[in-house]
Amino acid sequence: MSDAPSHPTLDDALRPLAMRLRAARRVVALTGAGVSAESGLRTFRGGDDTLLPPDMRALWAEFDPTTLATPEAFEADPERVSRWYDWRRLGCLAAEPNPGHLALARLERELATRGGTCTILTQNVDRLHQRAGSVDVVELHGTILVWRCTRTGQRVTPEPTPMPAFPAPSPFAPGALLRPDVVWFGEMLPEDALARAAEVSTECDVFLSLGTSAMVYPAAGFVRLAASHGAFTGEINLDATPASGGVDVSVRAKTGQAMPRLVELAFGAG
């Protein structure tokens, strides 16, 4: 016997969540920019990074979202907004899924072999979940890899090279432009994504909130919706968030470290 104080380890913190996952049939994971941070993609908020050079800070610490991520910003300066989104698009294409994405894909497979499901509600526009092998992915904020015509809404997947012109003319309607197929501040989320997210949140046994600052609605509201319908709720995030106090288990960790361990605790080594 030792008198040394015992420090809760990551495993200790994850075990109650792992137990719930093992028994669950329907799991929902809401993911945010923190899940892609270990792929080298910058988050929008979070962390005390004032000592970092601007190009390593959270995006909204270096850039003003009102001049880049609104329909009004695009109307006022389509060249600047298109350039910025194209720069981010190329960053997403160059990034690789990290162990957090891969663990979520494994979680979906493990649950499927037991007749269960794992639906990812992602706020990320990078498509790294799909590239990691997740199939049931709901893109709440669209994707930056696809652009659409400002007049007809027709979609196109640009080449994996910089756009030839800024702003990019639409090939579908003379005089119209292409814009990224993402949701900007002040815009509605895609109706089908919103409906599916509400449905799976109401029906799930376990709801995980992963790498999201839980500040942007309606996405941030799904964890409470799930809890109010009886789901066990867990959060894994580097920092405390407005969701932390309301979930059953809140773990301070990187998702790239915690998610593989969580799935291993629940289902054994892969």
Count of CB atoms situated within 10 Å of the CB of 99: 20
Question: What residues are annotated to the active site?
Answer: 141
Q: Which is nearer to ligand OAD, 43 or 119 (CB)?
A: 43
Beta strands per DSSP E along 80-141: 117-122, 137-139
Please identify, among the stretches 19-27, 82-90, 170-178, 251-259, the one whose residues bind ligand OAD according to the rule CB under 6 A: 251-259
String of contacts with ligand OAD for each residue 121-140, x by CB under 6 A: --x-----------------
Answer for which of 88, 89, 127, 141 binds ligand OAD (CB under 6 A) is 141
Please, what is the minimum distance in Å from the beta carbon of residue 254 to ligand OAD?
4
Among all residues, whose Cβ is closest to ligand OAD? Answer: 34
Least distance in Å: CB of 114 to ligand OAD? 27
- Residue carrying structure tokens 């993402």: 182
Helix locations, 213-254, DSSP H: 222-228
- Dist. CA 174–CA 239, nearest whole Å: 47
Give the residue carrying structure tokens 């990224």.
180
CA–CA gap between residue 106 and residue 148 (Å, rounded) = 32
Interface with ligand OAD in residues 31-50 (CB under 6 A) = 32-34, 37-38, 43-47
Size of the chain, expressed as the number of residues it contains:
270
Among residues 18, 256, 263, 266, the one that binds ligand OAD under rule CB under 6 A: 256
- Shortest distance, CB of residue 237 to ligand OAD, whole angstroms? 4
Work out whether 143 is an interface residue with ligand OAD (CB under 6 A): no
**Residue 1 burial (CB < 10 Å; 0-12/13-18/19+)?**
exposed
Of the candidates 209, 268, 201, which has an alpha carbon nearest to the alpha carbon of residue 243? 209
Q: Could you tell me which of 89, 62, 155, 251 has the C-alpha nearest to residue 259?
A: 251
Does the CA dihedral 243-249-252-256 come out positive or negative? negative
| Closer residue to ligand OAD in complex, CB, 93/216 | 216
By beta-carbon proximity to ligand OAD, the closer residue of 97 and 116 is 97
Q: Is the CB of 38 or the CB of 110 nearer to ligand OAD?
A: 38
Letters for 168-187 (x = contact with ligand OAD by CB under 6 A, - = none) are: ---------------xxx--
Kindly determine how many residues on this chain lie close enough to bind ligand OAD according to the rule CB under 6 A. 30
Terminal-to-terminal C-alpha distance of the chain? 34
Considering only the stretches 126-134, 221-229, 249-257, 261-269, report the one whose residues sit in contact with ligand OAD under the rule CB under 6 A.
249-257
Residue 3 CA, chain-centre distance (Å), reads 43
Nearest to 217, CA basis, from 246, 191, 188, 193: 188
Distance, CA of 107 to CA of 119 (rounded, Å): 10
Give the shortest CB-69-to-ligand OAD separation in angstroms.
5
Q: Which residues bind ligand OAD (CB under 6 A)?
A: 32-34, 37-38, 43-47, 58, 65, 69, 123, 141, 183-185, 211-213, 215-216, 237-239, 241, 254-256
